[in-house]
């Protein structure tokens, strides 16, 4: 699988060796000598990528960078590489969502395996994200009235209740409901609920007029 | 009864003390002494008699006494004609001289004086000396003739010979004809009894050449008894002491002699006439008589003979001092160093003894101190090793990191190279690059190992000339990885001038490592701005100061003095020996170590080390 591998290691020699090997395996490689360098450049997360991160680097350490990236909402899987794997650090980083934890020296097979899995993981993430994005954009095309109907439908309200709540006839509700099913490209109510769930709409209160991410607000 | 005895005693004492005074009042004698000596005064024996006599007379404190002396030379000149000439000579010479007392030396002189006294010196008391017991008996002097009788029996002389030669078989008489002898002329009569059982050889009246020849060939077990030889038998006369020297030169056996003056020329000794005693005795008798004592009231006394031996001859004939007759005197003893310098030796010896004692004590002290030093150095070395190992444990993660970095690069590069080589058209240029990288990383790994080993190696205390700047640099480089891993900034401000000290570089490195690690530990709790600054600087040309300051919380003021105590620790996992080791090492380097808080926060540890003499 093609992908981008970000290598963060202060040791130029090791960095170069890994870079060389990964390039041979067909990956695109970007190297950084410190965490700061990586943070200074916005990461392109649209392609399958991963981070190879040394635990001990000057300045911001590996685990600290991991925490930082998490806070920034990065989805890039992180494979830790360390010269000395103490249990404490290993547990901490894995809990924080590290993809893998490798010890130097690492064989190419293990390294490539880890990188491959990380990239695959990221690709999956990217796929999900992609689908979410398309759903979100579909939902975004709903008219405000349709959106109100949508939110009430996914919460299990029947047409009569919706009509009463929104002050419209049952007939109009049905028409809007039809529109929503079409725009969301779903066939059943269950599918519609699933989308709402994924968009996180269900966790919020039904009384609000908030349309969620990407959606239009109430007039 | 008792009272009577007392009174009679008192009377006796009164009479005894008053009698001489009464006499001296009645018969005042002229204070002059005429000494008639039968010898010719050339020999030392008679000379000593006379000189001692003269000395005693001269030392008489009361009054001056005139001394006349005549040497009759009777051993060389004999016969009625000579005697007659002497008589006339003396009569003429002393016709007008008042003589108080006459002292005769020798039996022959006494005999003549007794014969002439009635005519020449009527009523003048006579003190004789050097008169043999037998001669005295023969001459039967009248009562107013007194003096010293010499008793020198042959038996005594042979007894002395037996002392000298324990297995005595033969005695050899050497001397002039018996009738020419002054003192020993009675010996022939004693031979039969005194020399019973011994072979007797007489070399009497022989020429000197003959004597010298024969005394050189004597048998074992024999002893020479020398009376006196006055001439060589061919017309040359000499004092008997001189003759003895000639004989002793050739003699192959010890020579028993009868006069003290025969010791020096080579006689081994025996019962000898002592001329000094004889002279002194005669003088005292004469003075007593001059002072008024009646010569008739003084009985002749025996004396003038003592057992005296010659030390040198005793050594030659191996005669033990203990075997000598009781009361023996030893002459010419070569005093040993001990006898010569007894007090000096005692003093020197006691000093030496004292010194030896002191040296022993000092050596003992020194050994104890060295043992203690070795022990403490050993302990310190052990502790330092423990501490280093502990530090090594702390550092092991960074060491592993440092080491695995090049190893990881090598592994990956190798595999990449394999990959390249297995492709149909391998890019050899790239392989070459990879190999160069591998070599570089290999050397790096090696360097890490070397540093680690030199750090962990337990070395004994060995001092070298060290540059503190370089030493600090090495430590800071070594700790840089650990510091960065712990988010600590390390700065080193080296001194512009060289800081040369004498010390153990490994141990001094240990001190600096301990201080830095300690500082880093102290800052573990602070969120940011962890900084350790090392300084090396000159302090007045005599000492170098190293300081390690941190940006931590500092040391509580009441703990400043305690931080160097063993097992003082604020760390949960700390052993509390790092700083105590540091102090021990610095003290061993004759330096000082102390801690203080920086005015701007943080703790500062200072180490002062004496600079090595340029």
Mean of pLDDT values over B466-470: 90
pLDDT(B209) > 90: no
- Nearest-by-CA chain B residue for A22: B416
- ipTM of the prediction: 0.70
CATH 1.10.10.10 segments of chain A: 141-198
Q: Please, which residues have CB within 8 angstroms of residue B200's CB and are 6 or more apart in sequence?
A: B170, B171, B173, B191
pLDDT at residue B545, rounded to an integer: 92
Question: What number of residues does chain B have?
Answer: 614
Contacts of B400 in chain A (CB under 8 A): 83-84
Contact B400 A56 (CB under 8 A): no
pLDDT(B156) > 90: no
A111 touches chain B (CB under 8 A): yes
Contact B412 A103 (CB under 8 A): no
pLDDT at residue B18, rounded to an integer: 45
pLDDT band at residue B188 under the 50/70/90 scheme: confident
Name which of A133-147, B1-15, B22-36, B172-186 the model is least confident about.
B1-15
pLDDT at residue B454, rounded to an integer: 67
pLDDT band at residue A217 under the 50/70/90 scheme: very low
Tens digits of residue pLDDT in B346-388: 888 899 999 899 999 999 988 888 888 777 766 666 666 666 6
- List the one residue out of B172, B80, B77, B189 whose CA is nearest residue B135: B189
Contacts of B423 in chain A (CB under 8 A): none
Asked whether residue B322 is assigned to any structural domain, the reply reads yes
Mean of pLDDT values over B481-494: 85
**Rounded CA separation A94/A76 (Å):** 14
Contacts of B405 in chain A (CB under 8 A): 11, 13-14, 83, 104
Tens digits of residue pLDDT in A163-207: 898 888 889 999 998 988 888 888 888 888 888 888 877 776 554
Option in B405, B412, B434 nearest A83 (CB):
B405
CA distance B383 to chain A (A): 27
**Rounded CA separation B31/B29 (Å):** 6
Contact A105 B440 (CB under 8 A): no
Asked whether residue B7 is assigned to any structural domain, the reply reads no
pLDDT(B421) > 80: yes
Asked whether residue B116 is assigned to any structural domain, the reply reads no
Option in A16, A58, A104 nearest B437 (CB):
A16
- Report whether CATH 1.10.10.10 matches the domain A141-198: yes
> Cis peptide leading into A105, omega within 30 of 0?
yes
pLDDT at residue A6, rounded to an integer: 93
Asked if B208 and B243 touch (Cβ cutoff 8 Å), the reply is yes
Q: Which of residues 24-43 of A touch B (CB under 8 A)?
A: 24
Q: Among B335, B353, B383, where does a domain finish?
A: B335
What's A4-135's CATH class? Answer: alpha beta
Query: From its phi and psi, is residue B544 left (phi > 0), alpha (psi between -120 and 50) or beta?
Result: beta
Structural domains in chain B (count): 2
Residues B175 and B311 in one domain: yes
Option in A57, A105, A108 nearest B404 (CB):
A105
The token pair that represents B181 in the structure block:
């002898």
Asked if A149 and A209 touch (Cβ cutoff 8 Å), the reply is no
CA distance A204 to chain B (A): 38
**Rounded CA separation B223/B169 (Å):** 8
Asked whether residue B147 is assigned to any structural domain, the reply reads no
Option in B404, B419, B420 nearest A83 (CB):
B404
Name which of A6-15, B34-43, B307-316 the model is least confident about.
B34-43
CATH 3.40.50.2300 segments of chain A: 4-135
pTM strictly above 0.90: no
Contacts of A105 in chain B (CB under 8 A): 404, 407-412
DSSP β-bridge partners for residue B609: B544
Instruction: Compute the mean pLDDT over every residue in chain B, rounded to the nearest whole number.
Output: 83
**Separation of first and last alpha carbons in chain B:** 109
Distances (CA, A) of B215 to B177, B248, B416, B453, B576: 17, 8, 121, 94, 100
Asked if B141 and B114 touch (Cβ cutoff 8 Å), the reply is yes
Tens digits of residue pLDDT in B8-55: 555 544 444 444 444 444 456 788 999 998 887 677 888 888 888 888
pLDDT at residue A204, rounded to an integer: 64
Contact B405 A106 (CB under 8 A): no
Asked if B116 and B145 touch (Cβ cutoff 8 Å), the reply is no
Asked whether residue B406 is assigned to any structural domain, the reply reads no
Asked whether residue B88 is assigned to any structural domain, the reply reads no
Asked whether residue B414 is assigned to any structural domain, the reply reads no
pLDDT at residue B126, rounded to an integer: 92
Contact B405 A14 (CB under 8 A): yes
- Side-chain half-sphere exposure of A58, counting CA atoms within 13 A: 11
Question: What number of residues does chain A have?
Answer: 219
Residues B478 and B330 in one domain: no
Instruction: Compute the mean pLDDT over every residue in chain A, rounded to the nearest whole number.
Output: 84
pLDDT(A219) > 60: no
Q: Please, which residues have CB within 8 angstroms of residue B69's CB and are 6 or more apart in sequence?
A: B34, B35, B36, B37, B50
- Nearest-by-CA chain A residue for B397: A84
- Nearest-by-CA chain A residue for B530: A59
Q: How many CB pairs under 8 A join A and B?
A: 87
- List the one residue out of B568, B549, B398, B404 whose CA is nearest residue B487: B398
Q: Which domain holds residue B553?
A: 461-614
- Angle of CA points B387, B390, B392, to nearest 5°: 110
- Dihedral angle at the C-alpha atoms of A102, A107, A108, A112, nearest 10 degrees? -30
CA distance B492 to chain A (A): 18
- Nearest-by-CA chain B residue for A55: B485
A20 touches chain B (CB under 8 A): yes
């Amino acid at each position: 699988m093609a992908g981008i591998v970000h290598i963060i290691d202060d040791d130029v020699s090791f960095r170069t060796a890994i870079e060389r090997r990964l390039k041979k395996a067909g990956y695109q490689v970007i190297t950084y000598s410190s965490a700061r360098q990586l943070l200074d450049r916005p990461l392109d997360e649209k392609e399958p990528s991963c981070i190879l991160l040394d635990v001990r680097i000057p300045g911001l350490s590996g685990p600290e960078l991991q925490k930082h990236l998490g806070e920034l909402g990065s989805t890039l899987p992180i494979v830790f590489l360390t010269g000395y794997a103490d249990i404490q650090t290993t547990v901490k980083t894995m809990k924080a969502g590290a993809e893998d934890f490798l010890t130097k020296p690492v064989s190419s097979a293990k390294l490539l395996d880890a990188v491959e899995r990380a990239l695959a993981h990221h690709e999956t993430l990217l796929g999900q994200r992609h689908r979410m994005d398309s759903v979100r954009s579909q939902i975004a095309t709903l008219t405000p009235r349709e959106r109100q109907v949508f939110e009430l439908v996914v919460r299990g309200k029947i047409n009569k209740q919706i009509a009463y709540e929104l002050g419209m006839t049952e007939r109009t509700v049905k028409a809007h409901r039809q529109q929503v099913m079409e725009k969301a490209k779903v066939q059943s109510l269950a599918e519609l609920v699933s989308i709402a769930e994924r968009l996180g709409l269900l966790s919020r209160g039904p009384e609000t007029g908030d349309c969620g991410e990407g959606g239009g607000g109430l007039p | 009864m008792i009272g009577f005895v007392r009174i009679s005693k008192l009377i006796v004492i009164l009479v005894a003390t008053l009698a001489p005074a009464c006499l001296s009042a009645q018969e005042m004698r002229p204070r002059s002494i005429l000494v008639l000596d039968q010898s010719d005064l050339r020999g030392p024996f008679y000379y000593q008699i006379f000189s001692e006599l003269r000395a005693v007379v001269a030392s008489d404190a009361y009054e001056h006494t005139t001394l006349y002396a005549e040497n009759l030379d009777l051993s060389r000149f004999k016969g009625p004609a000579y005697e007659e000439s002497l008589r006339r000579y003396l009569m003429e010479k002393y016709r007008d001289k008042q003589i108080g007392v006459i002292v005769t030396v020798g039996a022959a002189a006494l005999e003549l004086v007794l014969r002439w006294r009635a005519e020449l010196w009527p009523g003048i008391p006579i003190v004789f000396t050097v008169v043999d017991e037998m001669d005295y008996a023969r001459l039967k002097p009248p009562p107013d003739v007194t003096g010293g009788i010499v008793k020198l029996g042959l038996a005594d002389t042979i007894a002395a010979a037996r002392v000298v030669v324990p297995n005595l078989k033969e005695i050899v008489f050497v001397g002039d004809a018996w009738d020419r002898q002054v003192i020993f002329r009675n010996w022939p009569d004693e031979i039969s009894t005194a020399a019973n059982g011994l072979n007797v050889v007489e070399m009497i009246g022989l020429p000197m050449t003959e004597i010298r020849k024969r005394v050189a060939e004597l048998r074992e077990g024999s002893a020479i008894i020398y009376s006196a030889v006055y001439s060589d038998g061919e017309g040359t006369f000499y004092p008997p002491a001189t003759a003895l020297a000639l004989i002793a030169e050739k003699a192959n056996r010890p020579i028993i002699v009868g006069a003290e003056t025969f010791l020096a020329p080579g006689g081994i000794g025996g019962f000898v006439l002592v001329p000094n005693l004889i002279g002194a005795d005669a003088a005292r008798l004469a003075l007593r008589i001059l002072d008024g004592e009646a010569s008739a009231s003084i009985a002749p006394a025996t004396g003038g003979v003592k057992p005296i031996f010659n030390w040198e001859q005793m050594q030659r004939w191996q005669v033990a001092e203990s075997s000598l007759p009781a009361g023996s005197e030893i002459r010419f003893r070569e005093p040993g160093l001990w006898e010569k310098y007894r007090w000096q030796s005692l003093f020197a010896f006691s000093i030496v003894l004292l010194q030896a004692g002191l040296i022993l004590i000092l050596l003992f002290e020194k050994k104890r101190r060295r043992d203690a030093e070795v022990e403490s150095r050993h302990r310190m070395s052990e502790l330092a090793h423990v501490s280093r190992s502990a530090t090594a444990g702390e550092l092991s993660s960074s060491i592993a990191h440092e080491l695995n970095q090049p190893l990881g690069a090598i592994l990956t590069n190798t595999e990449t190279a394999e990959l390249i080589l297995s492709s149909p058209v391998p890019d050899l240029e790239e392989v070459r690059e990879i190999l160069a990288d591998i070599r570089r990383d290999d050397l790096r790994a090696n360097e890490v190992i070397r540093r680690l080993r030199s750090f962990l190696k337990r070395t004994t205390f060995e001092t070298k000339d060290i540059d503190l700047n370089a030493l600090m640099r090495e430590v800071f480089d070594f700790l840089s990885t650990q510091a960065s891993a712990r988010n600590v900034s390390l700065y080193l401000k080296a001194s512009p001038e060289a800081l040369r000290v004498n010390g153990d570089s490994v141990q001094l490195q240990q001190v600096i490592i301990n201080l830095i690690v300690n500082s880093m530990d102290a800052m573990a709790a602070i969120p940011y701005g962890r900084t350790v600054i090392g300084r090396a600087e000159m302090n007045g040309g005599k000492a170098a100061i190293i300081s390690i300051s941190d940006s931590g919380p500092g040391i509580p003021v009441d703990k400043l003095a305690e931080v160097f105590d063993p097992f003082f620790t604020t760390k949960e996992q700390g052993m509390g020996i790092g700083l105590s080791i540091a102090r021990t090492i610095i003290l061993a380097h004759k330096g000082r170590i102390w801690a203080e808080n920086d005015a701007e926060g943080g703790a500062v540890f200072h180490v002062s080390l004496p600079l090595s003499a340029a």
